[in-house]
Structure 1
Amino acid sequence: MKINIDKLNIAMAEKCWTNQELSKKAKISLVTLTMIKANKRNFQAVTVGKIAKALDIPVSELVEQEN
């Protein structure tokens, strides 16, 4: 799954969270979050789910639609 970085940043801004806060609340490493935000690779559904759950938004709001 590929995360839409703009949507992720908007959701984080709405919560006023830093990368460190999101990684702690989503229970993912800061390195993983940094790689996601650098758009380095696709991630497993469980990782995307943890982020969405921490931000209290649906997964569909975070992922980029593939054509």
Structure 2
Amino acid sequence: MKLDKKAFDLALAKAKLTKQEISQKSGVSSSTITKLLSESQNMRPSTAGKISEALGCNVSDIIKEE
């Protein structure tokens, strides 16, 4: 599962939060979020759930369709 950078940035803007604030709110480290955005790491379903919940969006809104 891959994080869609464009969709993530859009959701981040809608939530009016920074990457650091999402990290704190979701409990996912900022280094993990950076790795997910650079696609150097696959995302676990639980991580997708934490990030989407912190952003106030659906998981399907922030993942890349493969």
| Deviation, structure 1 residue 14 | 1.1
Q: Structure 2 CA distance, aligned partners of 1:53 and 1:21? A: 13
**Conserved in 2, the CA contact under 8 Å of 1:7 and 1:62?**
yes
Superposed counterparts of 1:12-31, under 5 Å: 12-31=12-31
Runs of 4 or more, structure 1, over 2 Å off, are none
**Conserved in 2, the CA contact under 8 Å of 1:5 and 1:39?**
no
TM-score (norm 2): 0.91
**Greater CA drift, 32-41 or 51-60:** 32-41
Unaligned runs of 5+ in 2: none
Structure-1 residue corresponding to 2:36: 36
Q: Structure 1 CA distance, aligned partners of 2:32 and 2:65? A: 21
Structure-1 residue corresponding to 2:57: 57
- How far does the alpha carbon of each residue in 1:23-46 deviate from its partner, in whole angstroms, 9 at most, with x for none? 001111111111112221211110
CA-atom RMSD, angstroms?
0.9
**Greater CA drift, 18-27 or 34-43:** 34-43
- How far does the alpha carbon of each residue in 1:6-56 deviate from its partner, in whole angstroms, 9 at most, with x for none? 000000011221111010011111111111122212111100110001111
Unaligned runs of 5+ in 1: none
